[in-house]
């Protein structure tokens, strides 16, 4: 049986990546957390946050993605199977 979890991955070019794990039934909490972290990285300026999601990203289990700032920092939410 395959179970899924939700992972929030924060990539900042000036720090090690951060990974936060949520149970699948906490999707809204994971999305709210990710958006909040992206806003913090953007210093509260939503114009500095570019949210997008391509079909290829969706096919890989990504649920939300935001690129922040000019250096390619990002926050993403994705499902990850546990076997």
pLDDT at res. 27 = 94
Mean pLDDT (whole number) for 71-79: 91
Q: How many domains does the chain have?
A: 1
Whole-structure pTM value: 0.86
Percent of the chain with pLDDT strictly greater than 70: 98
What residue ranges in 1-83 does DSSP mark as E strands?
Answer: 3-11, 18-23, 49-51, 62-68, 73-82
Close Cβ partners of 4 (under 8 Å, ≥ 6 residues apart): 24, 79, 80, 81, 82
CA 8-43-78 angle, to 5 degrees, is: 15
What's the domain range around 33? 3-82
Dump pLDDT digits (tens) for 28-43. 999 999 999 999 888 8
């Amino acid at each position: 049986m395959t179970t899924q979890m939700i992972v929030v991955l924060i990539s900042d070019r000036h720090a090690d990546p951060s990974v936060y794990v949520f149970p699948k039934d906490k999707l809204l909490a994971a999305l709210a957390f990710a958006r909040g972290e992206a806003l913090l990285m953007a210093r509260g300026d939503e114009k500095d946050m570019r949210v997008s999601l391509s079909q290829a990203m969706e096919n890989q289990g990504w649920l939300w993605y935001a690129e922040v700032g000019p250096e390619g920092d990002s926050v993403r939410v994705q499902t990850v199977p546990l076997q």
